[in-house]
Amino acid sequence: MKLLVELSGEQPAMALSEAMGACHVTSPVEDVLGDERAALVDQDIGMAVIDTTTSSDDLASRLALCWNISEYLFSFMDMDIDELFGALDLDGRSFAIRVKRTHDLWIPEDSQHLIDRIGQVLGRTGRVDLKDPDITLRIIMGKRLHAGWLLHEIDRKSFEDRKPKNRPFSHPISLHPRYARALVNLARVRAGDRLLDPFCGTGGILIEGGLVGADIIGSDIDPRMIEGCEMNLEHYLGKDSGSQLHELDVADIEKFGKVDAIVTDPPYGRSASTAKEDVEELYIRAFGSFVKILKSGGRLAIVFPDMEFVKLAEEYVNLLEVHELFVHRSLTRHFCVFEKI
């Protein structure tokens, strides 16, 4: 099925990569569309069309950096409206039209004009119902126009509910759950995979991994974090989540055996604790351990405060992608994905 995915404006490149990764791990069919199990058919500002064998239900349950998923109909220009929408038979069903502008080519008046024109055409076989329609038409006004029947609205509120301040145990420098989930998807973690966070802190990444069905393992050198992480995991995943937590230095994680993915937000050496160890030395020790326990082809999704650490990591694993997120004047987070060859 071809899906029209509306990407988050805050990080569109990461959102697209997240969507492709989520398609890869939720597709029930091997090698139908090549190794990726999904193909990028079209892309515009704030949207992408993905041909995938995964179900929209499964995809919607995974995504964090997207807004809506629709069944893709077609891309078009103004002059195509009568022909394309006239060929759609609504068979008496009620409909609503929702428009999103992602490009300054369009002005608000264009949106209403477009709704009126399409509504007149669809009204030949259907009827307008803005409160409780049978179907909703999504129109994305990018550099071109794109149409799809709405299937899912991503439950972004649930990520807000899991923000650090709402947890039983919190820490101010924790990642927002949206970005923790995005990292899990970028690492292409499947249900049942062994996911390790060796700097687990309060457990934000482990929570998101557990919610998508991974077997989660966490470790941290700080016993307070392990205690707090256990509280948070029990709160969001339940007592029988099967999670493993260990007070452990990163050099000792080999005791866990092979893992399918490592997803982590390590200390940056500012307000975060490194047990007074130099950050670069800590990272070097960590990469040495990562490469020993990560399965061949497994991914490391990690956040760095500086590109210098990306170069350091490349001595151990293969860099696939980097996404930058400005936090404040003294911090830009670099969301990086590596693969063990």
27 lies in the same domain as 107: yes
335: enclosing H helix or E strand: strand 331-339
Backbone dihedral region for residue 13 (phi beyond 0: left; psi -120 to 50: alpha; all else: beta)? alpha
Number of helical (H) and strand (E) elements in the chain, helices listed first: 10, 15
Tell me how many domains the chain contains.
2
Mean model confidence pLDDT for the chain? 93
- The sign one gets for the Cα dihedral 206, 318, 307, 39 is negative
Residue 33 predicted with pLDDT over 50: no
Overall average pLDDT of the 91-107 stretch: 96
* Range 100-127 average pLDDT: 96
pLDDT in tens, 177-231: 999 999 999 999 999 999 999 999 999 999 999 999 999 999 999 999 999 999 9
The predicted pLDDT at position 37 comes to 75
Percent of residues, the chain, with pLDDT higher than 70:
96
Q: Tens of pLDDT along 142-159?
A: 999 999 999 999 999 999
pLDDT digit string (tens) for 229-259?
999 999 999 988 889 999 999 999 999 999 9
**Tens of pLDDT, residues 311-337:** 999 999 999 999 999 888 888 999 999
Considering the domain architecture, whether residues 149 and 221 belong to the same structural domain is answered as no
Three-state DSSP at 75 gives strand
Q: Helices marked H in 88-218 — which ranges?
A: 108-122, 156-161, 177-186, 204-211
Q: How far is CA 335 from CA 209, 243, 300, 339, in A?
A: 17, 25, 11, 14
Q: Domain boundary at 132, 154, 176, which? A: 154
Domain end call among 154, 176, 201: 154
Task: State mean pLDDT over 49-56.
Answer: 94
Q: Are residues 74 and 175 in the same domain?
A: no
pLDDT of amino acid 32 = 47
Using the 3D structure, point to which of 154, 177, 207 is the last residue of a domain. Answer: 154
* Residues 242 and 297 reside in one and the same domain: yes
Containing domain of residue 139, as a range? Answer: 2-154
Query: Quick one: 184 and 98 in the same domain?
Result: no
Exposure string (b/e) for 217-248, b if CB count within 10 Å is 16 or more? bbbbbbeebbebbbebbebbbeeebebebeeb
Place of tokens 């995974």: 62
Assess whether 166 and 146 both reside in one domain. Answer: no
Q: Please, what sign has the CA dihedral across residues 122, 127, 131, 136?
A: negative
* C-beta separation of 184 from 208 below 8 A: yes
CB 293 within 8 A of CB 194: no
CATH number, residue 30:
3.30.2130.30
Judgement on whether residues 20 and 59 belong to the same structural domain of the protein: yes
pLDDT computed for residue 314 by the predictor: 97
Same domain? For 60 and 83 the reply is: yes
Question: pTM of the prediction?
Answer: 0.93
Q: What is the CATH number of the domain that holds 230?
A: 3.40.50.150
Interval 135-144: pLDDT, tens: 999 999 999 9
What would the two tokens of residue 67 be?
Answer: 């807004």
Residue range 127-136: mean pLDDT, rounded: 97
- 120 lies in the same domain as 190: no
Total residues belonging to the chain: 341
297 shares a domain with 175? yes
Check whether residue 220 and residue 273 sit in a common domain: yes
In this structure, are residues 13 and 74 in contact, taking their beta carbons and an 8 Å threshold? no
What percent of the chain is predicted at pLDDT more than 90?
Answer: 86
Are 148 and 86 part of one and the same domain? yes
